[in-house]
């Protein structure tokens, strides 16, 4: 029974991954007008997946994860400019300086920027983590929200990175169409990379340990688990991928500023929570499903229900948290437990099983 | 007979309440030691002090000769001093195997081992221990769906896979039906004899503790009242008075 359940699950998982890969590669060619929207879908999936590491798997509901998205964006911007020009002069000119980056300069700077964004955010997470991991439950949520809100304001007042007027990103050396495809595929690859990495870390000790921290942190400590170490690493992973997505997004948009683009705490920052809850937090596929449905719902209502779009979104959130608290996958797991391998093993015992195998 | 835990002159106050006053005891290595006393006599407080759950006000606690009264809970647990809880604590949403995997010891674990998959050998060991406590068939069920007695057995199995040197059990038989109690006593004794785990047990059930323990300490009103082998304790007038409330 378990074997069948497992087999069926892995068949679904493989089919799902194949479908996503085919769709991801074909989408910008099939629906060229929607390339940007579909690129945003991959970013949303990445958001939901990274939020779920802490919020779903570890039980630490962070409302400030958007911090790393914005930080990654700014780190990459500064790195990309700094390799050919003085950052302070560049930002002080409010976009009046047009530097012609050579193709080599642009891509070197971009690659370096993305890597530094990921690593820098992981280090940020370790530093902030040591400050806020003493907080539990709602206090942790509010504490992280405060850090993200403050980050937006602080960057807005920091002239070196352009303050409230933001930074015009280096211009992509190429035509509009290849540029759109370039950034589309970067968004796609980063979401897939996040998924594959999480699939790997969720298959072993890391997942069971952070689940233990979620369900009973005191008991986990009593069993001698390195709780602090796991918490810092979990947030570091989320920050690493969010930083990379921020770097890619900033370059895709072409212009970054602190409040609406880099640290949109009350929109994207909250959406990542809602998407995980919708799909089913604490599962690998839940955030993917939730982000896809949420993004579709949002794009459709923004087009066909304009004026009422926020009301529609609010209704979706209320229906979700009142009637489907475990999200779509959590609900499915309750309804068809045997699909998820939750069964009584009919075998009497390990010894008898071995004896029977020996007899055959 | 070397002692594994040495508690000397430990006091713990909560505001004006003296929960433990100048408690001294020693838990000999490789044996089963009991701790009894009426409700509110400070048994669980003493356990909490030993495992580092709260700081002590005075005195010293050593584990294998090493002072541990200043260490934190996970550090002490990694030394091989483990406890189970009076209100059984297992991970209800996860299945029994996952509960066992969480408890695989993390002592001397380098950073790179954080992401490893569980080896077939480790899974087999978990299954063997679940079989030892009689939960093999239920190993893929959410632990929260087990009966209270089975959850206690699971918590005990989780402690065993952690390979402790000593296990502090807080009322292992509370809330378990009498038939299951006999099985549990048998398993505790086998854990002690076959796995060589020293046991230190809080217990209210006199039949259980008198059968199980080699020597017994009795607390009352936060003070050490008596110490001796089961026979002495059973006939000690002070212990009987403490339990019947003749104070």
Q: What is the pLDDT of residues A271-286, one digit of tens each?
A: 999 999 999 888 889 9
Q: Is the pLDDT of residue A88 over 90?
A: no
| Band of pLDDT at residue A1, cut at 50, 70 and 90 | very low
Q: Which residue of B has its CA nearest to A209?
A: B102
- Quote the pLDDT of residue A95: 66
Per-domain residue ranges for chain A? 2-359
pLDDT digits (tens, 9 = 90+) for B179-216: 888 888 888 999 999 888 999 999 888 888 888 898 99
Of all residues in chain B, the percent with pLDDT exceeding 90 is 33
Cβ distance of A215 and B138 shorter than 8 Å: no
Q: Is the pLDDT of residue A351 over 70?
A: no
Q: Is the pLDDT of residue A100 over 80?
A: no
Q: Is the pLDDT of residue A322 over 80?
A: yes
In B, which residues are within 8 Å of A346 by CB distance?
137
Cα angle, residue B40 at apex, residues B36 and B46 outer, rounded to 5°: 65
Token output for B119: 């080896």
ipTM: 0.84
Mutate to test the interface with A, among B80, B98, B106, B134 (most CBs of A within 10 A): B106
Q: Mean per-residue pLDDT for A224-242?
A: 92
Number of Cα atoms under 13 Å in the Cβ half of residue B145:
14
Query: Mean pLDDT over all residues of chain B?
Result: 88
Q: Is the pLDDT of residue B173 over 60?
A: yes
B229: left (phi over 0), alpha (psi -120 to 50) or beta: beta
- Determine contact, residues A62/A124, Cβ cutoff 8 Å: no
**B71: which residues sit within 8 A by CB, 6+ positions away?**
B52, B79
Cβ distance of B82 and A351 shorter than 8 Å: no
Selecting from 3.90.1150.10, 3.30.2400.10, 3.40.50.300, 3.30.390.10, what CATH number does the domain B1-80+165-247 have?
A: 3.40.50.300
Q: Is the pLDDT of residue A111 over 50?
A: yes
pLDDT digits (tens, 9 = 90+) for A128-161: 888 888 888 889 999 999 989 998 899 988 888 8
A341 DSSP 8-state letter: T
Highest-confidence segment of A222-236, A237-251, B23-37, B148-162:
A237-251
- Quote the pLDDT of residue A360: 53
| Band of pLDDT at residue B177, cut at 50, 70 and 90 | confident
- Quote the pLDDT of residue A86: 80
Q: Is the pLDDT of residue B148 over 90?
A: no
CA distance A188 to chain B (A): 25
Q: Where are the alpha helices (DSSP H) in chain A?
A: 2-30, 35-52, 66-82, 87-92, 103-132, 137-156, 176-201, 205-215, 217-222, 227-253, 268-279, 285-304, 309-323, 327-335, 350-359
- Quote the pLDDT of residue A349: 53
Q: Is the pLDDT of residue A2 over 70?
A: no
Nearest CB to B94: which of A211, A221, A344? A211
pLDDT digits (tens, 9 = 90+) for A15-63: 888 888 999 899 889 988 889 999 999 999 999 999 999 999 999 999 9
Per-domain residue ranges for chain B? 1-80+165-247, 92-163
Q: Is the pLDDT of residue A236 over 50?
A: yes
The strand pair at B215-220 and B32-36 is best described as parallel
Is the CATH number 3.30.2000 carried by domain A2-359? no
- Asked if B125 has any chain A CB less than 8 Å from its own CB, the reply is no
Q: Number of Cβ pairs closer than 8 Å across A and B?
A: 110
Nearest CB to B115: which of A206, A218, A344? A206
Q: Which residue of A has its CA nearest to B108?
A: A226
In A, which residues are within 8 Å of B116 by CB distance?
204-205
Q: Is the pLDDT of residue B109 over 80?
A: no
- Asked if B108 has any chain A CB less than 8 Å from its own CB, the reply is no
């Amino acid at each position: 029974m378990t074997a069948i359940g497992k087999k069926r699950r892995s068949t679904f998982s493989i089919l799902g991954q194949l479908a996503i890969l085919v769709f991801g590669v074909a989408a910008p060619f099939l629906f060229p007008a929607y390339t940007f929207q579909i690129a945003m879908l991959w970013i949303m999936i990445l958001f939901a997946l990274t939020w779920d590491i802490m919020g779903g798997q570890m039980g630490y509901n962070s409302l400030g994860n958007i911090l790393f998205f914005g930080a990654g964006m700014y780190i990459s911007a500064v790195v990309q400019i700094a390799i050919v020009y003085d950052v302070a002069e560049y930002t002080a000119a409010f976009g009046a300086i047009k530097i012609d980056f050579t193709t080599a300069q642009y891509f070197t700077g971009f690659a370096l920027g993305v890597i530094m964004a990921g690593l820098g955010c992981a280090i940020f997470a370790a530093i902030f983590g040591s400050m806020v991991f003493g907080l539990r439950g709602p206090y942790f949520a509010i504490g992280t929200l405060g850090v993200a809100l403050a980050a937006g304001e602080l960057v807005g007042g920091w002239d070196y990175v352009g303050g409230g007027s933001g930074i015009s990103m280096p211009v992509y050396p190429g035509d509009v169409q290849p540029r759109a495809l370039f950034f589309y595929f970067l968004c796609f690859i980063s979401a897939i990379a996040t998924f594959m990495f999480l699939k790997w870390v969720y298959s072993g000790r890391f997942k069971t340990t952070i689940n233990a921290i979620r369900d009973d942190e005191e008991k986990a400590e009593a069993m001698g688990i390195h709780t602090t170490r796991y918490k810092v690493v979990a947030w570091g992973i989320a920050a690493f991928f969010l930083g990379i997505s921020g770097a890619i997004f900033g370059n895709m948009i072409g212009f970054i500023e602190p409040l609406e683009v880099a640290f949109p705490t009350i929109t994207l920052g909250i959406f990542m929570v809602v998407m995980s809850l919708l799909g089913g937090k604490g599962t690998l596929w839940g955030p993917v499903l939730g982000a896809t449905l949420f993004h579709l719902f949002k794009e459709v209502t923004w087009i066909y229900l304009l004026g009422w779009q926020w009301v529609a979104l609010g209704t979706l959130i209320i229906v979700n948290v009142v009637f489907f608290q475990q999200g779509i996958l959590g609900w499915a797991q309750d309804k068809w437990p045997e699909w998820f391998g939750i069964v009584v093993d009919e075998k009497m015992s390990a010894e008898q099983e071995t004896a029977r195998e020996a007899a055959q | 007979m070397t002692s594994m835990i040495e508690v000397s002159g430990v006091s713990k106050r909560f505001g004006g309440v003296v929960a433990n006053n100048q408690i001294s005891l020693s838990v000999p290595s490789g044996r089963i030691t009991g701790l009894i006393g009426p409700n509110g006599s400070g048994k669980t407080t003493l356990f909490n002090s030993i495992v580092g759950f709260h700081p002590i006000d005075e005195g010293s606690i050593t584990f294998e000769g090493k002072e541990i009264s200043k260490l934190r809970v996970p550090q002490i647990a990694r030394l091989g001093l483990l406890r189970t809880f009076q209100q059984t604590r297992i991970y209800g949403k996860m299945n029994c195997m996952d509960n066992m995997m969480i408890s695989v010891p993390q002592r001397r674990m380098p950073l790179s081992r954080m992401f490893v998959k569980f080896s077939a050998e480790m899974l087999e060991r978990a299954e063997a221990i679940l079989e030892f406590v009689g939960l093999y068939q239920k190993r893929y069920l959410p632990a929260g769906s087990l009966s209270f007695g089975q959850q206690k057995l699971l918590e005990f199995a989780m402690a065993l896979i952690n390979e402790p040197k000593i296990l502090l059990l807080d009322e292992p038989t509370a809330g378990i039906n009498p038939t299951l109690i006999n099985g549990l006593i048998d398993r505790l004794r086998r854990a002690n004899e076959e796995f060589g785990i020293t046991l230190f047990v809080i217990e209210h059930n006199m039949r259980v503790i008198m059968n199980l323990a080699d020597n017994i300490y009795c607390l009352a009103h936060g003070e050490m009242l008596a110490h001796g082998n089961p026979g002495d304790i059973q006939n000690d007038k002070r212990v009987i008075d403490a339990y019947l409330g003749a104070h």
